[in-house]
Amino acid sequence: MLGVVRHYPEGVPSVPLDLFAYERPLIEGGAVVVGLDEVGRGALAGPLTVGAVAVNHLRPAPAGLTDSKLLTPARRERLVGPLKEWATSWALGSVSSHEIDEWGLRLALAVAATRALDGLDVTATHALIDGSFNLLRAPINVAFGSAQPPLLTYAALDHTTVIKGDQFCATIGAASILAKVARDHVMVELDTQYHGYGWVHNKGYGAPDHLAALRERGPSQEHRLSWRLPKPT
């Protein structure tokens, strides 16, 4: 089952969502389904992280599961334990700002997704991917020398892309929460090493305080230097 799936394009329907609508027929057909979602794509600093949550059962997902961006930080934290227990297997894969600068965003996304699948304790046979393109594939048409990226070993994995999948698919929603909570913790820790950018609050995104700090002091080693960052004044 390949291609882009658009679900409820006008918003949330009036009937309750079936968060297992995509997973159920696949699992009933014998698939091990993995949901994939990324966090940190649009940040100016810090890692990009892909969450992978695999299931081979039809047990209901923990109550309150939805897109991580629609939940408060406290609610996301409370869901982490139940989601890890519910999943057959889960893992995270990340790329650093340096790797994003070396490879470009599209290839870096694929590497992070590959690392996430590598971390699973099960072999996924079908991926449900948030968004409109396959995170597991990317063109590699340049020579990287010492920064050669790893092989994209899951590029041919059967997949379905789901618009707003973090709201409509249990596995994708779970992946988004685990990735978001983990990356937020990383940014809080990095804030203790690189003071003044406000990463505790803005998590590396282009908030006004972050942009002001870049103009005042320039970028740190954790910034994506290939991006159009504000110049010091």
Taking only the tens place, the pLDDT of each residue in 82-127 is 999 999 999 999 999 999 999 999 999 999 999 999 999 999 999 9
Note the pLDDT of residue 177.
Answer: 96
| Coil, strand or helix at 50 | strand
Fold of 17-217: Nucleotidyltransferase; domain 5 (3.30.420)
SS3 content of the chain, % helix, strand, coil (to 5): 40, 15, 45
- Nearest one of 139, 135, 146, 182 to 34, comparing CA atoms: 135
| Coil, strand or helix at 77 | helix
pTM (two decimals): 0.91
Note the pLDDT of residue 145.
Answer: 58
Residue boundaries of the structural domains of the chain: 17-217
d(CA 223, CA 220): 5
Note the pLDDT of residue 146.
Answer: 56
Report yes or no: 168 and 7 within 8 Å, Cβ to Cβ: yes
Note the pLDDT of residue 207.
Answer: 97
In angstroms, the first-to-last Cα distance of the chain is 52
- What the block records as the tokens of 210 is 């972050």
- Nearest one of 49, 44, 75 to 62, comparing CA atoms: 75
Residues of the chain with pLDDT under 70: 1-16, 67, 141-146
Helix (H) or strand (E) holding 40: none
Note the pLDDT of residue 64.
Answer: 86
Note the pLDDT of residue 142.
Answer: 61
Note the pLDDT of residue 3.
Answer: 42
d(CA 221, CA 219): 7
